Chain A
């Protein structure tokens, strides 16, 4: 049975692995940026 998006289960799982990797990198970079801001100019 075709999915709503047209992707197969295998494709969806494969894409999700890359999505998680990229998202983890994004969050890590944002966390680093926040630590630098805290070090330079804490907002509390």
Chain B
């Protein structure tokens, strides 16, 4: 496994789309982002940092 070429980022970032197909995974990525944003807001409000 160690002879696999190491990516140089960010110039090789685009190659992720050679592995995951955005037609399949773009919406799941967006939903994961939405879940994360809701979770962060939930925590911020639960520790009392929301608008009073």
Binding site for B on A (CB under 8 A): 3-7, 9, 11-13, 15-16, 19, 40-41, 43
Closest to B47 in A: A43
Complex A-B, nearest 4 residue pairs according to Cβ-Cβ distance, in ascending order: A16-B14, A12-B17, A3-B18, A5-B21
A-B contact count (CB 8 A): 36
Task: Report the minimum CB–CB distance from B9 to chain A (whole Å).
Answer: 12
Residues of A within 8 A of B22 (CB): 5, 7, 15, 19
Interface residue count on the B side (C-beta < 8 Å): 12
Within the assembled complex, what's the spacing in Å between the Cα atoms of A40 and B50?
Answer: 11
- The answer on a CB contact under 8 Å between A16 and B20 is no
